[in-house]
Amino acid sequence: MIIINGQQGDSIHVMDRSVMYGDGVFRTMRMRDGRIHCWIGQYRKLEADCQALDILCPAQSILEQEINLLVRDTPDCVVKIVVSRGEGGRGYGVPDSVSPNRVVLTAPIPVYPAHYWHDGVRLHVCEMRMCHQPRLAGIKHLNRLENVLARMEWSDPDTPEGLMLDAEGSVVEGTMANIFMRQGNTLITPDLSACGVAGLQRERILAFAPQCDLEPEVNNFSLPALLQAEEVFMCNSVIGVWPVRQIGAYAIPLGPTSAQMHSLLESETA
C-alpha cells in the first residue's frame, strides 16, 4: 500500500525532482505490532537529512497519521518514507514555487535464513568504489547509483551483502548496512565524513558500546585491517545485526559482540 501526499496512489509526476535527479531523502524502518521501532530516532534522522538538503520536512504528526493508515492490516512490515523536493521544470535550478512531495509505503519483511543471525554471513568485496562528497556524506539521499551498481556485481544467494570501499581503499559500509569491527575492547566503525550513510542503528551501537565494556571509535581503516579483526558485523534497521563469517575468500572469527548488540537494538527502551 502506498500513500502519496496523504492520498492512496501508486504514481508520482514524471517531473518530480526525485525522478529526474534523485533530489530527496528516505528512511527505511521496521514496523512491529503496529509500531515503528525507534520512530523518534528515525524521524530525527529524516528531519536532519531534509535540513541538510534544504528540503522542508513533513511534520512528524502528518507522517504518523499516514503510517497508521498503512499498517492497519499489516502491523508487521517494512515502512519506507520518501521526501522529494517536489516537481520542477527541466534543469538543475530549483523553482521558487517548488513544494515537497512525500511518499509512505509498506513492504513485506524480507525473509532471510535464520542462521545469518547466528552463524554469520559472507560478504562480496565490491569492485565499485565510493566517491568522496562531504556535502552529501552521511545523508540517506535518493541518489544510490553506487549501491545499485555494486549490488549488481554478484548473484550468489548465499552472499546477502557486499562490502564497499572508497577510492583510497578505505572500508566505508555495505551496500545496505553499516559495518563494525572489534579489536580487543575497541569497537570501530568507519568515518563517514567523506561518503556513506550514517544509519540510526550505527549511531545506537556506538552509544551502546560502553554497556558491553567496549570503547567506541570512529576511524578510517583498510580492507587488510578489517580482515585481521577479531570480530566483524553489519547493521541496519531491518536486519538488526548480522555477524560476518567471511569476506571474499577470508574467514572471519565470530565473537559475542554481534549478539549483544542485536539484543540491545531490539530493545526500544535501550
CATH number reported for the structural domain that contains residue 47 in this entry: 3.30.470.10
Point out the catalytic residue in the list 45, 87, 140, 189.
140
Please say if the pLDDT value at position 270 is more than 50: no
In this structure, the answer to whether residues 92 and 140 fall within a common structural domain is no
Is the same domain home to 134 and 62?
Answer: no
Same domain, 46 and 149: no
List the domain range (segments joined by +) for residue 44. 2-107
Check residues 268 and 231 and name the one with the higher pLDDT: 231
Helix (H, G, I), strand (E, B) or coil at 64: helix
pLDDT in tens, 55-106: 999 999 999 999 998 888 888 999 999 999 999 888 888 888 899 999 999 9
Q: What is the CATH number of the domain that holds 251?
A: 3.20.10.10
Closest CA to 245 of 183, 161, 151, 176: 161
Give yes or no: residues 221 and 250 share one domain.
Answer: yes
Q: Is 140 a catalytic residue?
A: yes
Do 88 and 125 have their domain in common? no
28 is catalytic: yes
Domain endpoint, select from 88, 107, 126: 107
Same domain, 96 and 24: yes
Same domain for 102 and 119?
no
252's grid cell: 572471519
Residues 103 and 136 in one domain: no
Give the tens place of pLDDT for each residue, 147-194: 999 999 999 999 999 999 999 999 999 999 999 999 999 999 999 999
Active-site residue 215, yes or no? Answer: no
Model pLDDT, residue 24: 97
The domain tally of the chain equals 2
Q: Which residues contact 232 (CB under 8 A, 6 or more apart)?
A: 179, 180, 181, 182, 226, 243, 244, 247, 252
- Beta strands (DSSP E) in 131-212 are 161-166, 171-174, 178-183, 186-189
Domain stops at, among 107, 132, 148: 107
Asked if 119 and 253 sit in the same domain, the reply is yes
CA 88 and chain centroid, separation: 28
State whether 140 and 259 are in the same domain: yes
Question: Is the pLDDT assigned to residue 53 strictly greater than 50?
Answer: yes
Q: How far apart are CA 137 and CA 220, in angstroms?
A: 14
| From 173, 175, 231, 257, active-site residue | 173
Residue 87 pairs in a beta bridge with 16
Residues 21 and 43 in one domain: yes
Q: Give the pLDDT confidence score for residue 268 in this predicted structure.
A: 63
> Do 126 and 47 sit in the same domain of this protein?
no
Last residue of a domain, one of 107, 128, 158: 107
Query: For the chain, what is the mean pLDDT?
Result: 94
Q: What is the average per-residue pLDDT within 3-15?
A: 91
Residue 198 has pLDDT above 80, yes or no: yes
Q: Which listed residue (28, 74, 159, 186) is catalytic?
A: 28
